[in-house]
Amino acid sequence: MGIVRFLRSKGISLEHWQIIAIFLVLCDAVAISAAYLGALFLRFDGVFSQIPRHFLRGTMRVILPYIMLCVVCFWKGKMYQDMWRFASFSVLSRTLVLSFATSAVHAAGITLLYGRYPLSYYLLGALFQFLFLLAPRFSYRMLQYLRSLHKIHNSGAGRVMLIGAGSAGQMILRDLNSAKETNDRVVCIIDDNPNKWNRTMEGVPIVGGRDSIFASVKKYSVNKIYLAIPSASAKDKRDILAICNETGCELKQLPGMYQFVLGQVSVSAMKHVSVEDLLGREPVKADMEEVYSFISGKTVLVTGGGGSIGSELCRQIAAHAPRQLILFDVYENSAYEIQQELKRKYPELDLVVLIGSVRDSRRIFQVFERYRPQIVYHAAAHKHVPLMEDSPCESIKNNALGTYKTAYAAMVHGCETFVLISTDKAVNPTNIMGASKRLCEMIIQSFNAKIVQGKVRDIPQLFTHVGMENADKDGSGRIFDNIRTRFVAVRFGNVLGSNGSVIPLFRKQIENGGPVTVTHPDIIRYFMTIPEAVSLVMLAGTYAKGGEIFVLDMGSPVKIDTLARNLIKLSGYKPDVDIKIEYSGLRPGEKLYEEKLMAEEGIQKTANNLIYIGKPIAFDEDRFFGQLAPLMDAAYANKENIRDLVSAIVTTYHPETENPTVKKDPTYHRLIHEADQ
C-alpha cells in the first residue's frame, strides 16, 4: 500500500494491526462512497443521465466530510482494532449501531444543506453502507467457512467426532474450522444433554449422547474423536473414553478445566488420551491453603529428590514459598534435571542440591547440622521388587537403615515433621522390598513412641561410623531434651508414570512390535497419579500429630492385563492380533494383589474423605531396637540369612519360595470382581 510505504520511508514503523486498520479505513471510504452513489444510481433506475444534477452535486460535496466523520466515529467505536479471525456478534452489533447512527447524521446533514432527497436514497444508502462495511470485516470468517465446507469433501481430511456441545466444544469447533494446518472437519457432536439432541452447533449436528458414539462413528465415517468437556468428573471421562477406545479412532482431549478458565481452548491444546486417563478417578483435593501455611517460610528437605515422587514433591514445595528447599539424592543426573527445572520456574527460590546417600550417617548428619531442616520428606528408597529379591541386603541397607539414620539425624537436629514415603507392599509383605518398607514404618513408629514417652535416650545410635554423627558429643545428654519431632508415614499404591512403572515398559514393548509381557492374567493393582500421591504426602504433613500411617482410598483395583490391552488400543493396534500379549508368570516375591491395610489395623477418617489413618499395630519398641543391631550387622556383612532375620522382626512378612496361590482368598475374589466392573 502506498500510504504504508510512504510512512515507512519517513522512518515510521507500524504494527501489523495498524496496517490492517489503515486498509480498513480505505475500504470504509470506498464502501461509504459506493453506498450513497449506488443508492442514488438505483433510485433513478440505473440511468446516470436521469439523476438530477443538484442531487449528484450535493452527494459529491458532502461525501468527503461524511467519510471523515465516519472514520472518527468508527475509530472511537473500536471498529479498527478488532481481529478479523475472531469477528463475532459484538463486531456485527457495533457495526450495525455505528453505521445506522452515522447514516442518520448523513440524512440530516444533506437534507439541511441541499434539501430533501428521495426516501429510497436514505434507506438504500444506510442499508448499503452497513453491508459494505460488514463485508471486509467478515471476509476472513466467510473464507474459513467456505474452506471448512471443502474439508468435508476432501478424502484426505480427518473426520472428527466432537464430544461436548458446551462452550469449550464450540471453541474447539471454531478453531478447527479456521485452522490452516489441518484439513480435519467436525462431522458430528455428542452430548449427554437430551435438550441439545437433533439440533446443530455452528452447522454441525448434535446426534445424541454417549450411547450413540458407536453408531455415529460408523454413520459419519469418523476417524478422530475429540473430548471437550473439561468440567466433567473423572468417572464420566473414564467411562466415555472407555467407549471411544473401543472404536479404534484417534483420541484427543482437553487436559483440564484450568485451560478453559484461562481461555486456552484450542486444537493445539488438545492432548492424546493416555492409559492413565482410562483409569481416571477423582483426584485428592488438597486444601492448598493449609499446605501453604505449613510449608511457607520453612526449610524443607526432600531425600530422593531426583526420583519420581521426590521431584514432584520439590515442584509443589517450591510453589509454596519455602524459606529454603534442600534436594538430596545419590544420583546426580536426576538431581541436576530437577535443579535446572526449578531454577527456570522459580528463580527466587533458595534451592540447595546435595549429592549423597542416606546410608552414609556422617553425610546425613552433616546435612542436618548445617541446614537444620524443619520438615523432611523421606522419599529415598529402593523400590524395584524383583531386583531387591536378588539383592536383599541392599534393600535393608538403603530402605530400613537409611530411614533410621535420616530419622535419627532429623530428631536430634530440631526437625518438626518427618514424613516417610511408604507403600502398600508393606502390608503382609511377600517380598524383601515390602518387608524393608514395613521396617521403615516400624522405625518411625518406634521413634515417635519414644518421643511421646520422653525416652529418646533409649533410641540406640545404630551407625556404622562412630565420630561426627554422634548426637551426644559432650556426653551431657542435653541434646535429647525437648525433642518434639512428629514422625508419620504415607502408604502409596503404584504410581502411574513413575520410574519403574509398568506403563513405560509396555510402551517400549509396543514400539518394538511386541509381545507385551504381563506376569499373570488376573494380577491386579491399585494406581494413582504422581501429583495425587504428592498431594497426599503434603497433606500428611499438615495432619501429622505423630505416629500415624496415612492411607489413601485408591478406588477400585485395576487388572494389569486390561491396562496392557488399553495401551495397545491407544497405540492404534489390536491386542492379540497386531500386538501379542504373553503371560510370563509371577516373579519372585510378587503377589496377585496388594492390600492397603493389615488385617489387624483399623482405620480412622481425616478431614479429607479420601485419606484415612491406619491404627498402628502394637509391638515392643525396646525389643524391636534390640533386633535392629544384628540386622544391620548382617546386612553390611551381606549374610544369606537376611530374610530369616527380617521375618523374626516383621511378623507379617512371609517370603514366598514359589508363586503365591491366593485364588481361594475371598478378598482376592472381591477385588477381581471390582476390577472387572
The tally of CA atoms less than 13 A away on the side-chain side of residue 164 is 24
The tally of CA atoms less than 13 A away on the side-chain side of residue 152 is 13
Hey, what CATH class is 296-503+522-558+589-670 in? Answer: alpha beta
CATH placement of domain 154-273: 3.40.50.720
C-alpha cell at 477: 545428654
Greatest C-alpha distance within the chain: 120
Which pLDDT score, from 0 to 100, does residue 417 have?
94
Residues of the chain short of pLDDT 50, as ranges, are 151-152, 155, 256-265, 599, 657-675
Residue entry with cell 530440631: 414
- How far apart are alpha carbons 459 and 388 in whole angstroms? 28
- How far apart are alpha carbons 532 and 632 in whole angstroms? 34
- How far apart are alpha carbons 645 and 639 in whole angstroms? 10
Return the H-helix or E-strand segment holding 508: helix 502-511
Which pLDDT score, from 0 to 100, does residue 15 have?
63
Domain ranges of the chain: 2-148, 154-273, 296-503+522-558+589-670
Which pLDDT score, from 0 to 100, does residue 639 have?
93
- How far apart are alpha carbons 246 and 229 in whole angstroms? 19
Answer whether 208's CB lies under 8 Å from 197's CB. Answer: yes
Determine how β-strand 204-208 pairs with β-strand 199-201: antiparallel
| Residue type, position 603, single letter | I
pTM > 0.75: no
The two domains 154-273 and 296-503+522-558+589-670 share their CATH topology (first three levels equal):
yes
Answer whether 519's CB lies under 8 Å from 445's CB. Answer: no
- How far apart are alpha carbons 161 and 589 in whole angstroms? 46
Which pLDDT score, from 0 to 100, does residue 11 have?
56
| Span 410-450, pLDDT tens digits | 999 999 999 999 988 888 888 999 999 999 999 999 999 99
* Cα angle value 68/73/76 (rounded, 5°): 125
Which pLDDT score, from 0 to 100, does residue 257 have?
39
Return the H-helix or E-strand segment holding 76: helix 53-76
| Residue type, position 495, single letter | V
Residue of 136, 129, 103 whose CA lies nearest to 22: 136
Residue entry with cell 540447595: 352
Which pLDDT score, from 0 to 100, does residue 669 have?
45
Determine how β-strand 603-605 pairs with β-strand 494-496: unpaired
Which pLDDT score, from 0 to 100, does residue 259 have?
39
User: Angle between the 53-76 and 16-43 helix axes, to the nearest 10 degrees?
Assistant: 150
- How far apart are alpha carbons 294 and 113 in whole angstroms? 78
